Structure 1
Amino acid sequence: MSKTEDLEMESDEMMKKETHDNGTPAPKNTQYWVVLILVIIIMFMFLILVFFTILQFIQYGNLTEEQTLLMNDVSNLSSLLEHIEKIVADLTLRQDDLIYQQEILSTKQSRVSFKLERLDSELELERNITDRLSTDLENVKQGTRPLSNDIQRISGAVGKLADGIQKAHGPSTPLCETHWVHYGLSCYYKSWKAESWEDARKDCKYNMSDLVVINGEDEMNFLYHFSEQEVTWIGLAEERGIWKWVDDTSYEMTPTHWQYGGPYPWPASDLKKKDECAYLLKEHSWSHDKCSHKFMYICENKRILL
């Protein structure tokens, strides 16, 4: 047998000896079991205490870790709060700067509005002056056109008188060269070949004359018949959107005979080109075309009678 079994048998025998005949255990044995039970209870409670202590330590460790995390979060939040405070301060400065800039812009806007109002007033004044000048110019035109016609009639009469004087003195002192026709105080020549406007003017200047300038209704009627109702260049050309006669006679002060009441309105980009010239039509009117086109032309040599 093993030693354990031997001890158990000896223990049983001792228990039997210490037991009374009626089976009641002896008092010493009762105390032993009570002490044993108390020791077991104490050990069990100690184990429970150790378990709870360990559990508390574990929870304390977790709490410490959580506290550390919370402290880190608090530190991060503090840094974030400081950053936000800096941003708020910067935004406040920017807001103040924007308010200042807005005040400056408001002041400038007020000045610009004042200048615009003054410019509007000046523009309105200039418009009124322009309207008055246009009215005065139209009145001058209406007054000078009859005068121009009267001058043309006087010139025609003087021309007829000169023709009469020339006929009285005989053909020895002709008023105009050969192939030239006399009318009023000028001699006129109609080309027999077509040229561009520039070449036509060069040919007229070569013959001590220039392209014809039409000063009145009588001269227009004469040229209508003299041109034999052919398309012929005249001494009127456009320069930067302004029509000018070759001898600088005022375009505004002389009567015009445009086919449709005025020259064609070209785009503004074409106004910089001096490439539009006027010509006579067989319909007793004017029109204009590219100066490079080739038409017949009429030269005028103005005579001064002494």
Structure 2
Amino acid sequence: MIDLAYFTPPSQGELGLKAFDPGYTFNADRTVAIGETSVYNQEIIHWQEQLHAEGKQGLLLIYQAMDTAGKDSNIRTLFAGVNPQGLDIHSFNTAGKKELQYDILHRYHNAVPAKGSIGVFNRSYYEPLISHYAHNNEDPSLLSGWAKHLNNFESLLQDNNIRVIKFYLHISRTEYRRRLAKRLSNPQEHWKLTESDLLTHANWHNTIAAYQKVISQTHSSKSPWYIIPSNKQWFRDWLIGHIICKTLQQMRPRRPQVPPPYTLEDLDALAQALGQRSSSQR
């Protein structure tokens, strides 16, 4: 049985991402893991139906990572076939000029899933904080101030029965460069490349330091971060699927047990009455 504590930040002290191997696979068998990932997909479909019918609690999943880490791919794999009526997926790109006139949470709050739904943030309110800290070497007190606001925001969601879990997809710099080179070699993927990719590669250590600081200050038992080794796509998908299903099992959503407003006899009587009415009108 996999120990999820291995993939969470330390309860005390600073997070050091060097302690987490991006290529780690827990000695799992690749073929078995791929098969179990398909099972997790079906479990997510089942639990989402229960969640939607119950309508009393929701789940927000936050994905953070450098480009090429596989956020989109993982979301496609795990949520294939999920009823879109109970699934909200939002991808947040760089805020525009108008958005920057508002507070850091303005455009995210309205995207939080309603009770009965699963919400997925592909990048989130953590992105501008990480990016700003990585490239501007801001005063740590500023980071602490914003982290406090984000923690309070997630506490608000928890108080309203919206569970929050957060994934950092952890890849090595070597793997990041390999995936960028692969995109460069394929004209069909050139559209995915941006100047920010080069900036991240050039400022790799600062970016990692920013993630370490932000994750350390916003991890809690109620809104946990998980450090997901992501050099191996199959292990990444299997681990995230395992965590999501375990969380949904803990939430235990149930269809409401409500008696129908009528019986089969009522239905037959109504059909007979309508049939007689139709005959009399001919």
Fold conserved between structures, TM > 0.5:
no
Q: Per the shorter chain, which TM-score range?
A: under 0.3
Q: Which has the larger radius of gyration?
A: 1
TM (norm. structure 2) is 0.20
- Structure with higher RCO (Cα < 8 A, 6+ apart): 2
TM (norm. structure 1) is 0.19
